[in-house]
Amino acid sequence: MNSEKQKSILIVEDDESLANWIADYLSGQNFEVCVANRGDYALELIQEENPDLVLLDINLPVKDGFDICREARVFYDRPILMMTARDEELDEVLGLELGANDYVTKPIRARALLARIKGLLRRDTSSNDADKNNDCLNFGALSIDKFSRTTKINDAPINISSNEFNVLWILASQAGTIVSRESLIKELRGIEYDGFDRSTDILVSRLRKKLGTETCLEQRIKTIWGKGYLFSPEPWS
């Protein structure tokens, strides 16, 4: 008998028929499911219930999915999977920048949705089980703490998004080694690189701007054309 605790999922979707269909499907896959049809109510539930994953639509009454994602990231560090319209690529990029871990496109396909959810939950569990003694990286003035998810330069906190932190951690933990765009996308989102996704380029560009002058940071976080990215192991000043 499987005694593993059920994973909880909060579905935030104002289309009641779609929300109920997804809830029924996920309940049948042994998830504990809760549904919110309004953005403001969803934020309250995220804070009170701390679900293992939030499945978040963008177009919602009262407060939209972008606002929910941004505000929830202040206190919620578990996976957020956004639902977007198939022809709205900008929504996908903006959602990832605000802290969503991945996205699925409508119309929702049950098996694809389940695969994305399971992938995010696996990575979240692995991250939580990691040895916390190895969760701090230091490069001179730059310190990156995976456990508290904080980044500081000369002890001054740098305000970066959840996904920007994930990119920084992956690159910094492999300092001096080229990390391919394919492997970065695979680790961040659990999907194969399709040759067109530029979300990681955007995240790296934003990191360079937030961590200091972009010209200087080009030497710290390098783009190796045709290969990927390289984080310089040299101490930061």
CATH of the domain at 80: 3.40.50.2300
Supply angle C-alpha 100, 125, 165, rounded to 5: 40
Same domain, 94 and 37: yes
Last residue of a domain, one of 99, 129, 159: 129
Phi/psi for 13 (5° steps) reads: -155, 125
Q: Judge whether 1 lies within some domain.
A: no
Enclosing H/E stretch for 24: helix 16-28
Give the per-residue pLDDT at 218: 58
Same domain, 112 and 29: yes
Residues of the chain above pLDDT 70, percent: 84
Q: Would the pTM of this model clear 0.75, i.e. be above it?
A: no
Mean pLDDT rounded to a whole number for the chain: 83
Q: For the segment 124-136, what is each residue's pLDDT rounded down to a tens digit?
A: 665 555 444 468 8
Q: What is the largest CA-CA distance in the chain?
A: 58
In the numeric block, which tokens belong to residue 173? 């933990």
Q: Judge whether 2 lies within some domain.
A: no
Domain assignment of residue 47, given as a range? 8-129
Same domain, 149 and 78: no
Q: Judge whether 237 lies within some domain.
A: no
Q: For the segment 88-115, what is each residue's pLDDT rounded down to a tens digit?
A: 667 767 777 778 888 888 889 999 899 8
Same domain, 168 and 97: no
Number of domains in the chain: 2
Same domain, 122 and 192: no
Same domain, 204 and 124: no
Report the DSSP beta bridge partners of residue 140: 236
| pLDDT tops 60 at residue 22 | yes
> Are 191 and 185 spatial neighbours (Cβ–Cβ below 8 Å)?
yes
Q: Is 48 helix (H, G, I), strand (E, B) or coil?
A: helix
